[in-house]
Protein backbone atom coordinates (compact mmCIF):
# COMPACT_ATOMS: atom_id res chain seq x y z
CA UNK A 1 0.00 0.00 0.00
CA UNK A 2 1.36 3.36 -1.01
CA UNK A 3 2.44 5.67 1.77
CA UNK A 4 1.78 8.80 -0.30
CA UNK A 5 -0.67 11.15 1.33
CA UNK A 6 -3.89 11.92 -0.37
CA UNK A 7 -4.43 15.57 -1.27
CA UNK A 8 -6.95 17.52 0.78
CA UNK A 9 -10.51 17.32 -0.51
CA UNK A 10 -11.07 19.59 -3.51
CA UNK A 11 -7.35 19.80 -4.46
CA UNK A 12 -6.45 17.65 -7.50
CA UNK A 13 -3.30 15.56 -7.24
CA UNK A 14 -0.43 16.27 -9.66
CA UNK A 15 -2.35 18.91 -11.56
CA UNK A 16 -2.00 22.67 -11.83
CA UNK A 17 -5.03 24.49 -10.45
CA UNK A 18 -7.32 25.88 -13.10
CA UNK A 19 -6.80 29.57 -13.88
CA UNK A 20 -9.64 31.79 -12.75
CA UNK A 21 -11.88 33.23 -15.38
CA UNK A 22 -10.51 36.52 -16.70
CA UNK A 23 -12.24 39.82 -16.12
CA UNK A 24 -13.05 42.53 -18.59
CA UNK A 25 -9.43 43.69 -18.84
CA UNK A 26 -8.26 40.13 -19.57
CA UNK A 27 -10.81 39.80 -22.37
CA UNK A 28 -9.69 43.14 -23.81
CA UNK A 29 -6.06 42.06 -23.77
CA UNK A 30 -6.91 38.79 -25.52
CA UNK A 31 -8.91 40.69 -28.12
CA UNK A 32 -6.02 43.08 -28.69
CA UNK A 33 -3.60 40.20 -29.23
CA UNK A 34 -6.02 38.57 -31.69
CA UNK A 35 -6.34 41.80 -33.66
CA UNK A 36 -2.59 42.35 -33.60
CA UNK A 37 -1.97 39.05 -35.41
CA UNK A 38 -3.78 40.31 -38.50
CA UNK A 39 -3.78 44.12 -38.22
CA UNK A 40 -1.26 46.36 -39.94
CA UNK A 41 1.52 47.47 -37.63
CA UNK A 42 1.48 50.97 -39.07
CA UNK A 43 -0.73 53.40 -40.94
CA UNK A 44 0.31 56.36 -43.05
CA UNK A 45 -0.71 60.00 -43.12
CA UNK A 46 -2.52 60.51 -46.42
CA UNK A 47 -2.31 64.28 -46.98
CA UNK A 48 -0.59 67.54 -46.16
CA UNK A 49 3.05 68.23 -45.29
CA UNK A 50 3.65 64.78 -43.77
CA UNK A 51 1.93 62.81 -46.53
CA UNK A 52 2.98 59.15 -46.58
CA UNK A 53 4.73 59.43 -43.18
CA UNK A 54 4.27 56.16 -41.22
CA UNK A 55 2.56 56.04 -37.85
CA UNK A 56 3.21 52.95 -35.69
CA UNK A 57 0.21 51.04 -34.35
CA UNK A 58 1.20 49.59 -30.95
CA UNK A 59 -0.66 46.55 -29.66
CA UNK A 60 -3.23 47.87 -27.19
CA UNK A 61 -6.70 46.73 -26.18
CA UNK A 62 -9.34 48.65 -28.09
CA UNK A 63 -6.86 50.35 -30.44
CA UNK A 64 -8.38 50.57 -33.91
CA UNK A 65 -6.79 53.28 -36.06
CA UNK A 66 -9.08 55.13 -38.45
CA UNK A 67 -8.61 53.72 -41.95
CA UNK A 68 -7.18 55.80 -44.77
CA UNK A 69 -10.50 55.53 -46.62
CA UNK A 70 -12.42 57.07 -43.72
CA UNK A 71 -9.79 59.77 -43.15
CA UNK A 72 -9.90 60.68 -46.82
CA UNK A 73 -13.69 61.10 -46.65
CA UNK A 74 -13.52 63.14 -43.45
CA UNK A 75 -11.02 65.64 -44.88
CA UNK A 76 -12.98 65.87 -48.11
CA UNK A 77 -15.89 66.99 -45.92
CA UNK A 78 -13.82 69.42 -43.86
CA UNK A 79 -11.47 70.65 -46.57
CA UNK A 80 -7.82 69.88 -47.19
CA UNK A 81 -6.38 73.11 -45.74
CA UNK A 82 -6.95 73.49 -41.98
CA UNK A 83 -4.49 76.32 -41.46
CA UNK A 84 -5.46 78.28 -38.35
CA UNK A 85 -7.75 75.56 -36.96
CA UNK A 86 -7.44 74.36 -33.37
CA UNK A 87 -8.12 70.61 -33.19
CA UNK A 88 -8.63 68.30 -30.19
CA UNK A 89 -8.06 64.58 -30.77
CA UNK A 90 -9.61 62.85 -27.78
CA UNK A 91 -8.89 59.09 -27.32
CA UNK A 92 -5.95 59.69 -29.69
CA UNK A 93 -4.62 56.11 -29.85
CA UNK A 94 -2.20 56.01 -32.80
CA UNK A 95 -2.81 59.71 -33.43
CA UNK A 96 -3.93 59.08 -37.01
CA UNK A 97 -6.79 61.59 -36.87
CA UNK A 98 -5.09 64.41 -34.98
CA UNK A 99 -1.83 64.15 -36.90
CA UNK A 100 -3.75 64.06 -40.18
CA UNK A 101 -5.33 67.38 -39.19
CA UNK A 102 -1.97 68.82 -38.12
CA UNK A 103 -0.43 67.73 -41.42
CA UNK A 104 -2.98 70.01 -43.08
CA UNK A 105 -1.97 73.05 -41.02
CA UNK A 106 -3.97 72.75 -37.79
CA UNK A 107 -2.58 72.98 -34.27
CA UNK A 108 -3.60 69.89 -32.33
CA UNK A 109 -3.91 68.58 -28.78
CA UNK A 110 -3.83 64.78 -28.53
CA UNK A 111 -5.35 63.20 -25.41
CA UNK A 112 -4.47 59.61 -24.46
CA UNK A 113 -4.47 57.86 -21.07
CA UNK A 114 -2.44 54.75 -21.95
CA UNK A 115 1.22 55.36 -21.04
CA UNK A 116 2.55 53.15 -23.82
CA UNK A 117 0.51 54.92 -26.47
CA UNK A 118 1.51 58.32 -25.06
CA UNK A 119 5.20 57.37 -25.37
CA UNK A 120 4.65 56.24 -28.97
CA UNK A 121 2.80 59.46 -29.84
CA UNK A 122 5.56 61.63 -28.38
CA UNK A 123 8.19 59.78 -30.43
CA UNK A 124 6.16 60.40 -33.58
CA UNK A 125 5.76 64.09 -32.76
CA UNK A 126 9.53 64.39 -32.28
CA UNK A 127 10.25 62.55 -35.52
CA UNK A 128 7.88 64.79 -37.48
CA UNK A 129 9.17 67.90 -35.67
CA UNK A 130 5.52 68.73 -35.11
CA UNK A 131 5.85 71.74 -32.82
CA UNK A 132 2.16 72.53 -33.27
CA UNK A 133 1.12 69.20 -31.69
CA UNK A 134 0.80 68.64 -27.94
CA UNK A 135 0.38 65.17 -26.41
CA UNK A 136 -1.33 65.02 -23.00
CA UNK A 137 -1.58 61.87 -20.88
CA UNK A 138 -5.04 62.05 -19.35
CA UNK A 139 -8.55 60.62 -19.35
CA UNK A 140 -10.12 62.30 -22.38
CA UNK A 141 -13.64 62.48 -20.98
CA UNK A 142 -12.51 64.05 -17.70
CA UNK A 143 -10.24 66.48 -19.55
CA UNK A 144 -13.04 67.69 -21.83
CA UNK A 145 -15.40 68.11 -18.90
CA UNK A 146 -12.82 70.23 -17.08
CA UNK A 147 -11.89 72.24 -20.15
CA UNK A 148 -12.37 75.93 -19.42
CA UNK A 149 -11.59 77.52 -22.74
CA UNK A 150 -12.94 81.02 -23.25
CA UNK A 151 -14.84 82.15 -26.32
CA UNK A 152 -11.55 82.74 -28.19
CA UNK A 153 -9.87 79.58 -26.91
CA UNK A 154 -12.31 76.88 -28.04
CA UNK A 155 -11.49 74.19 -30.59
CA UNK A 156 -12.72 74.37 -34.17
CA UNK A 157 -12.89 70.58 -34.35
CA UNK A 158 -13.03 67.74 -31.81
CA UNK A 159 -12.20 64.22 -33.03
CA UNK A 160 -13.78 61.32 -31.10
CA UNK A 161 -12.84 57.70 -31.64
CA UNK A 162 -13.44 56.06 -28.24
CA UNK A 163 -13.16 52.31 -27.56
CA UNK A 164 -16.17 50.60 -29.10
CA UNK A 165 -16.74 48.33 -26.08
CA UNK A 166 -17.33 51.20 -23.66
CA UNK A 167 -20.50 53.28 -23.30
CA UNK A 168 -18.75 56.57 -24.04
CA UNK A 169 -20.53 57.99 -27.07
CA UNK A 170 -23.27 60.07 -25.43
CA UNK A 171 -21.09 61.55 -22.64
CA UNK A 172 -18.15 62.10 -25.01
CA UNK A 173 -20.30 63.97 -27.54
CA UNK A 174 -21.84 66.09 -24.79
CA UNK A 175 -18.40 66.97 -23.42
CA UNK A 176 -17.01 67.65 -26.90
CA UNK A 177 -19.90 69.97 -27.78
CA UNK A 178 -18.87 72.24 -24.90
CA UNK A 179 -15.32 72.45 -26.33
CA UNK A 180 -16.35 73.97 -29.68
CA UNK A 181 -18.04 77.29 -30.48
CA UNK A 182 -21.35 77.64 -32.32
CA UNK A 183 -20.59 76.49 -35.84
CA UNK A 184 -17.76 74.23 -34.61
CA UNK A 185 -17.41 70.59 -35.60
CA UNK A 186 -17.38 67.27 -33.72
CA UNK A 187 -16.40 64.06 -35.53
CA UNK A 188 -17.27 60.66 -34.05
CA UNK A 189 -16.79 56.99 -34.96
CA UNK A 190 -18.98 54.20 -33.60
CA UNK A 191 -19.97 50.58 -34.35
CA UNK A 192 -23.51 51.80 -35.14
CA UNK A 193 -25.21 54.93 -36.42
CA UNK A 194 -25.44 57.69 -33.80
CA UNK A 195 -27.84 59.89 -35.76
CA UNK A 196 -30.98 58.83 -33.92
CA UNK A 197 -29.35 57.76 -30.65
CA UNK A 198 -27.48 60.86 -29.48
CA UNK A 199 -29.36 63.61 -27.73
CA UNK A 200 -27.00 66.56 -27.24
CA UNK A 201 -28.74 69.94 -27.41
CA UNK A 202 -27.53 71.99 -30.35
CA UNK A 203 -25.45 69.20 -31.91
CA UNK A 204 -26.67 68.17 -35.36
CA UNK A 205 -25.35 65.41 -37.58
CA UNK A 206 -24.45 66.96 -40.93
CA UNK A 207 -22.69 64.00 -42.55
CA UNK A 208 -22.71 60.25 -42.01
CA UNK A 209 -20.85 57.42 -43.69
CA UNK A 210 -20.06 53.76 -43.18
CA UNK A 211 -16.96 51.71 -43.97
CA UNK A 212 -17.35 48.07 -43.02
CA UNK A 213 -18.43 47.88 -39.38
CA UNK A 214 -17.51 51.51 -38.67
CA UNK A 215 -20.03 54.36 -38.80
CA UNK A 216 -18.51 57.83 -38.93
CA UNK A 217 -20.33 61.09 -38.32
CA UNK A 218 -19.66 64.81 -38.61
CA UNK A 219 -21.71 66.86 -36.17
CA UNK A 220 -21.96 70.63 -36.03
CA UNK A 221 -22.86 72.74 -33.05
CA UNK A 222 -25.75 74.85 -34.24
CA UNK A 223 -26.95 76.74 -31.15
CA UNK A 224 -25.46 80.07 -32.19
CA UNK A 225 -26.07 82.81 -29.63
CA UNK A 226 -27.89 85.93 -30.92
CA UNK A 227 -25.36 88.26 -32.51
CA UNK A 228 -22.52 85.72 -32.35
CA UNK A 229 -20.03 85.95 -35.18
CA UNK A 230 -19.59 82.92 -37.43
CA UNK A 231 -16.22 81.14 -37.03
CA UNK A 232 -13.71 81.88 -39.76
CA UNK A 233 -12.66 78.22 -40.07
Q: Is the pLDDT of residue 175 over 80?
A: yes
Q: Is the pLDDT of residue 28 over 50?
A: no
Q: Is the pLDDT of residue 59 over 60?
A: yes
Nearest one of 90, 220, 93, 198 to 143, comparing CA atoms: 90
Mean pLDDT of 133-138: 98
**pTM metric for this prediction:** 0.77
Domains of the chain: 34-221 (3.40.50.150)
Nearest one of 147, 33, 51, 36 to 105, comparing CA atoms: 51
C-alpha distances in angstroms, 53 versus 120, 124, 128, 192? 15, 10, 8, 30
Q: Is the pLDDT of residue 132 over 50?
A: yes
pLDDT digits (tens, 9 = 90+) for 203-219: 999 999 999 889 999 99
Helix-then-strand count for the chain, H and E:
6, 9
Percent of the chain with pLDDT over 90: 59
CA dist 167 and 147 (Å) reads 21
Mean pLDDT of 58-87: 86
Distance, first Cα to last Cα, the chain: 89
pLDDT digits (tens, 9 = 90+) for 153-167: 899 999 999 888 778
Amino acid sequence: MSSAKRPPPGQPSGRRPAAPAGGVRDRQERAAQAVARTAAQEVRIIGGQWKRSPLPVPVSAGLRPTSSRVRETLFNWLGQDLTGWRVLDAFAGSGALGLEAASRGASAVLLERDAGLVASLRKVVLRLQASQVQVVQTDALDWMRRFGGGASDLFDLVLLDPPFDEALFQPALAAAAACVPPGGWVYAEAPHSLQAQVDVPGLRCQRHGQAGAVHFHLFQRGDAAPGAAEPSA
